[in-house]
Chain A
Amino acid sequence: MRYQLIGSLLVAVMLVLGTVGVVSATLNLSAVCAVDDEGHSSGGGDDD
């Protein structure tokens, strides 16, 4: 039972990490976090 529980929780952790990765990559999150207060990215990304 213990191993089944640990396995179930590991699956949940992997699902969470996968989701964070996919959504972050889709949003280009590193560029979003690097914006200044005028809305400009400080590096890279696809801003104009």
Chain B
Amino acid sequence: MDQRVARYVPRVAQHGRGAADIAVITAIKLVLTSVLLVSETYQVALMLVGYGKVRPPLLGAEAASRAHRAIGDTAVPITVVVAVLCLSGYEIGDAIEHAGTRVAVHVVAASLLLVALVLKIIAVRVGGRTSRLLPVLGSTLFVLFALTFASTVPFFLGGNQ
């Protein structure tokens, strides 16, 4: 087993799940969270084009906006899967107790992220005046994605705990 994941496994495995389950769940979460952050960064770039802030010669605003919507529709279920894996795979209270501030920040950021995600979906569906909120909600989502990522993934990929 990779040492970065192995270091985390014994602490969580004692809470009823096998070490293999926890290692695989952790690895899947790390991959999906990284994918989400990269795609969110790309989403920000697409909407800079979509709102006309950047005008590259090869990409129009409408195409960028449609691509943003399509990628967003894909990112939402992936985010939900990661959240479900997190809630079902770990004992959150114990994890905060063991890892302290880092996990607490992760839990708060991820919870706010889900709230912001729901608000953004509502704003997209309702349209009209609520559309004005989309840039703010999108930026908030990106920051929360980055915070959620930064409070977990580097600690595993970098070999720290």
Residues of A within 8 A of B (CB): 1, 4-5, 7-9, 11-12, 15-16, 18-20, 22-24, 26-29, 31-33, 35-41, 45-47
Cβ of A9 and Cβ of B67 under 8 Å apart? Answer: yes
The stretch of B58-66, B87-95, B122-130, B131-139 in contact with A is B58-66
**CA gap between A12 and B44 in the complex, in Å:** 12
Q: Which of A12, A23, A32 contacts B23 (CB 8 A)?
A: A32
Measured between beta carbons, the chain A residues less than 8 angstroms from B6 are 39, 47
The CB with the most chain A CB atoms within 10 A, among B6, B10, B13, B66, is that of B6
Q: Which of A15, A33, A46 contacts B39 (CB 8 A)?
A: A15
**CA gap between A45 and B153 in the complex, in Å:** 20
Q: Chain B, 6-44, contact with A by CB distance < 8 Å: what is the 0/1 string?
A: 100110010000111101101100110011001100100
Cβ of B38 and Cβ of A16 under 8 Å apart? Answer: yes
Cβ of A7 and Cβ of B59 under 8 Å apart? Answer: yes
Cβ of B62 and Cβ of A1 under 8 Å apart? Answer: yes
**CA gap between A4 and B63 in the complex, in Å:** 6
Cβ of B5 and Cβ of A32 under 8 Å apart? Answer: yes
Measured between beta carbons, the chain B residues less than 8 angstroms from A39 are 1, 6, 9-10, 13, 19-20, 23
**Which residue of chain B lies nearest to A10 when distances are taken between CB atoms in the complex?**
B67
Cβ of A4 and Cβ of B71 under 8 Å apart? Answer: no
CB-CB nearest 10 A-B residue pairs: A8-B67, A4-B63, A39-B19, A37-B18, A28-B2, A32-B27, A35-B20, A5-B63, A19-B38, A23-B34
Cβ of A27 and Cβ of B63 under 8 Å apart? Answer: no
- Tell yes or no: B4 within 8 A of A by CB: yes
- Tell yes or no: B70 within 8 A of A by CB: yes
**Which residue of chain A lies nearest to B158 when distances are taken between CB atoms in the complex?**
A26
**CA gap between A32 and B8 in the complex, in Å:** 12
Measured between beta carbons, the chain B residues less than 8 angstroms from A5 are 63, 66-67, 70
